[in-house]
Amino acid sequence: MKWTRGSLWGVVLLFMLTLAGRAGGEPAQLSDESRMCLDCHAKPGIIKFFQNNESLIAYVDADKFQTSVHNALACSSCHPDFSSGKHPTREFKTKAHYRIRSSLVCRQCHTDEQIKKRAVHRGLLQEEKAGKPPVCTNCHGSHTVTRLSGESSFTNEEQYCSRCHSHSMTMHFKNSDTLSLKVDSLALKTSVHGKLSCSDCHFGFSSEEHPRRNFKTRRDFTLASSESCRRCHFDKYTKTLESIHYTVLSQGKLNAPVCTDCHGSHAIYRVGKERTASAKRCQRCHSKEYDTYALSVHGNALFNEHNQDVPVCVDCHTAHTIEDPLSINYRERIPEMCSNCHAKKEVVGKYGLSTDVQKTYLADFHGVSLGLYKMEKGKLDKPHKAIAVCTDCHGTHNIMNTRGTEASVVKSNLLKRCQKCHADANEHFPDAWLSHYEPSLKRAPLVFLAGLAYQIFIPIMLIGFVLQVLLHIWRYAVNR
C-alpha cells in the first residue's frame, strides 16, 4: 500500500482529534454497561441509606460523567462488585465509612508512587499512616472526576483551590500544632478580598504548583503568612514597623499580633463605622483593659447605648502605629487625643459637655508646661519630665462620668491623684485647680473679681498714660 499525502494528513488529523477529545474531556462514547446503569442512575430518586440513617443520593449526572476523565471507563471499573448481571446490596455503617471504602478503588489505578509526586498528596498519605485515610472524592469528585491541574474545567483559581480547601483538611506542624486548611468560601467571597485570587496572597501556589512548606509551629506559619499583606498594604505595613507590637515581636515574643491576628485571614471585613467590632479585636489579647473600658463612661455608652461617638481602642492607640502608651511621647499627645472629641462642640455638645476643657487645661500650669516641654524636645538636650495630663486625673480605660458623682467623692479622688506628684498636698490643694471651669462669681469669685478689676483698670491706666504723653508733647510743641 502506498501512502498518499492526503491519507497521511488524514491520519494526523484523526490523531489530533483523538487527543483533543481526550484532553478536553469531550463527550465520548459510553460503554454499554455504563448506559445500562445510567438507565436508572441518571434519574433522580435513588437513595442509599446507611446504618446510622445517613443517606446518599445515588444519582449520576450523565452529561457530567460523559465529560469526566473517566468517561470511557465502564461503571464496574470503579464499582467492581457491580456489573450488568450483578447488583448486590451492601451495608455500610456511615457515609464516611462508605467514602473511605470507595476511595480505595481509586488507589488501584492511581498508585501511591504516582500520587506522591504531588505535595498535597504526600501530606494526605502521611495522615493515612497516622490512621486518617484520605477520601479522594472529597477533592476530585466521583462521577465528575476532572483533572485538577492543567484543565480548563475551572473558571477561576478560587474554584480550583476550593475543590480541596472547602473540605476539612488539617496542616500538621513539627511541634504537633495543627491548623485547619478548610476555607469558608462564602466568607471569603463576601470579604473585602472577595475579588482576589488565592495566589494573590498565597504566592508560590497556583494550579500548577503546590509547594510543601515546613513550619515548626503554627505561629511560625501565621507570621510568615502575614508577610503577604504588605504586598498591597505597604503603607500600613511600614506603620506597624514603628509600633510597639512590632518592637515586642522583634524582641522574640512571637505572640505579638501581626496583620492576620487582628484582621483575620479569609474572612476580612471592613469594620467601618461599627466600632464595637473594632474594640473586640483588641480584646483577644488585652482582655483586662477591654473589661475596664467596657465599664467606663465610654465603653458603657458604646456597648449599652450603641453610641458611635465614643472612642474605641484605636482612637487613642491608633490601629497600626501603636505606640508604647507608657512612653513620654505618647503621654504628651494625650491632651490632643482627648481634644479630638472634647474640644469639638459637634461631638460633645449634644451630651451637654463643655468644650472649654482643653482650653482651660492648656492655659493652666500643667498645660503650659506640657506645651513648652514639647517645644523644647529635640532642641534642648535634657531628659523630659512627665507632667499631669488628662488621664492622670480622669483615668485611662476606666474614665468615669464626673457628673452625678458627689463633689466630695470627686474631690477626694482628685486629692489622691495630686498626691502622686505633690506628696504633701492636703485637702485644700485640689481647689487650686478650677476643675476646667472658667472663673465666675459662683465658681472662684476671688479669681473672677481679681481678673475683672484688672480688665477695667489696665485700659483706663493705659489711656491715661497715652493722653498725658500726647498732651505733654503738644504743649511742648506749642510753647516752642
Contact positions toward another protein, by CB under 8 A? 368-369, 371-373, 375-376, 379-380, 382, 385, 422, 424-426, 428-434, 439, 444, 446-447, 450-451, 454, 457-458, 461-462, 465-466, 468-469, 471-476, 478
Task: Specify the residue, 14 or 471, whose C-beta has the smaller distance to another protein.
Answer: 471
Helix (H) or strand (E) holding 465: helix 445-479
Q: Which amino acid makes up residue 157?
A: E
Could you tell me the smallest distance in angstroms from the CB atom of residue 286 to another protein? 36
**What type of residue sits at position 386?**
A
3-state secondary structure of 56: strand
Shortest spacing between CB 461 and another protein, in angstroms:
7
Closest CA to 362 of 389, 330, 340: 389
For the bound state, the minimum distance from the C-beta of residue 437 to another protein, rounded and expressed in Å, comes to 10
In angstroms, what is the minimal distance from the CB of 382 to another protein?
6
Which residue number, 194 or 439, has a Cβ lying nearer to another protein?
439
Q: Which is nearer to another protein, 277 or 471 (CB)?
A: 471
Answer whether 22's CB lies under 8 Å from 67's CB. Answer: no
> Is the CB of 80 or the CB of 459 nearer to another protein?
459
- The pair phi, psi for residue 173, each rounded to 5°, is -105, 165
Residue 31 or residue 360: which is nearer to another protein going by CB? 360
Shortest approach of another protein to residue 362 CB, angstroms?
10
Nearer to another protein, 344 or 472 (CB): 472
Cell of 316: 487613642
In degrees and rounded to multiples of 5, residue 401 shows phi and psi of -70, 125
Contacts of 437 (CB under 8 A, 6+ apart): 356, 360, 443, 444
Please list, in sequence order, all residues whose beta carbon lies within 8 angstroms of the beta carbon of residue 95, skipping any fewer than 6 positions away: 50, 54, 55, 56
Q: For the CB of residue 386, give the shortest distance to another protein in the complex, in Å.
A: 13
Q: Which is nearer to another protein, 325 or 439 (CB)?
A: 439
Q: Tell me how far apart the alpha carbons of residues 304 and 296 are, in angstroms, rounded to a whole number.
A: 11
Quick one: 248 or 447, whose CB is closer to another protein? Answer: 447
Helices (H) and strands (E) counted in the chain, each on its own, are 26, 4
Strands 55-57 and 47-49: antiparallel
- Least distance (Å) from another protein to the CB of residue 469? 5
103, 135 in Cβ contact below 8 A? yes
**Residue 234 or 474 having the CB closest to another protein:** 474
Q: Is the CB of 12 or the CB of 456 nearer to another protein?
A: 456
Task: Find the shortest distance in angstroms from Cβ 344 to another protein.
Answer: 21
Cell numbers placing 451: 481678673
CB 370 within 8 A of CB 387: yes
Q: Which is nearer to another protein, 235 or 381 (CB)?
A: 381
Joined together, the cell numbers standing for residue 350 give 449634644
CA angle at 407 for the pair 404 and 409, rounded to the nearest 5°: 95
3-state SS, residue 93:
coil
Q: How far is the CB of 438 from another protein (least distance, A)?
A: 11
8 Å CB contact between 143 and 137: no
| Angular region, 423: left φ>0, alpha ψ -120 to 50, beta rest | alpha
The CB-of-372 to another protein minimum distance in angstroms stands at 4
Q: Nearer Cβ to another protein, position 129 or 428?
A: 428
- Which cell goes with 315? 482612637
Q: How far is the CB of 218 from another protein (least distance, A)?
A: 52
Contacts 24+ apart (CB under 8 A), 389-396: 389/331, 389/332, 389/334, 389/335, 390/334, 390/335, 390/338, 390/361, 391/334, 392/417, 392/420, 393/417, 395/296, 396/325
